[in-house]
Amino acid sequence: MRHAAGEHPPGTSGYDAELRRHDGVLRRVVGVRSHDHVLDIGCGTGQTTRQAARTARAGSAFGVDVSAPAITRARELARAEGLRNVTFEHADAQVHRFPPERFDLAMSRFGTMFFDDPVAAFANIGRALRPAGRLVMMVWQAHERNEWDVAVRRSLEAAEGPVAGASAGPDAFSLADPPTVREILRAAGFTDIAFADVHEPVYYGPDVAAALEWVRGFTCTLEVLKRLDPAAATRADERLRQALAEHLGDDGVWFDSRAWIVTARRVGPE
């Protein structure tokens, strides 16, 4: 999903909290080394970038995101943690002029699904990688395999019908199909493309009220609620509340999810 605010606020709910169970999986696969220079695509407030910087003690980490408020917060957090080998830039990775062949590794935690032209975007990222440099990204599997998306869609559609649940906006599942992703990455100059299943839940908040506030901020949710009349919007809101309440446990609101970790290498010299 994409949060309409473009920010990933810290605390008991928010983007970093939502993906807390995914982070360890991604870190293990990424395997940042002490001398690596790391590019983090769609870094948000920089949690994954700062993690990479702490491991790449003799290297560096560079995070980019299209959200200016998120980048401002990322810089504040890095300064507070005293990290000197991490930098952030408000930039669109699909067109930003990265230093050529600068990075050993390009990584992303759900930050690569919204490119207008994915082949051009990944080719641009590839040019920033050294020959045989690695790409490691986490992306959502198909929406029907993600309980959170199914629940949100059903809640919205129940209020006004299937048209209300439809969205022409950013597609969080654009990289869900492995054959499609292989074709994109090969066309962009990558090889050794592989997929690993990630089955971890997402966390929406400590209680239903916090979870509802978070889900209301999803771009898809906002788009639908804006189209509904007040009575229908109230019905949709109550449906969402009920869906979230059904997933409330002793440790908060959790939904099942499925993702891919996609790994690849930039095509090296012959």
Q: What is the pLDDT of residues 10-55, one digit of tens each?
A: 344 478 889 999 999 999 999 999 999 999 999 999 999 999 999 9
First to last CA, the chain: 39
**pLDDT, position 269:** 63
CA 211 from centre of chain: 18
Question: Amino acid identity of 251?
Answer: D
Decide if 85 contacts 61 (C-beta within 8 A).
Answer: yes
Task: Walk me through the domains of the chain, giving residue ranges and CATH numbers.
Answer: 15-142+170-204+256-266 (3.40.50.150)
Q: Which residues contact 207 (CB under 8 A, 6 or more apart)?
A: 248, 252, 253
**pLDDT, position 132:** 92
What is the β-pairing status of strands 190-198 and 202-205? Answer: unpaired
CA atoms lying within 13 Å on the CB side of residue 87: 6
Q: What is the pLDDT of residues 74-92, one digit of tens each?
A: 999 999 999 999 999 999 9
List the helix and strand counts (H, then E) for the chain: 11, 10
Q: What is the number of other CB atoms lying within 10 angstroms of the CB of residue 187?
A: 13
Q: What is the pLDDT of residues 107-155, one digit of tens each?
A: 999 999 999 999 999 999 999 999 999 999 999 999 999 999 999 988 8
Q: What angle do CA 235, 8, 143 make, to 5 degrees?
A: 55
Of all residues in the chain, the percent with pLDDT exceeding 70 is 90
Name the average pLDDT for the chain: 90
Decide if 176 contacts 141 (C-beta within 8 A).
Answer: yes
CA distance 122 to 171: 17
User: How is residue 60 written in tokens?
Assistant: 């560096």
Whole-prediction pTM: 0.90
pLDDT for 164 beyond 50? no
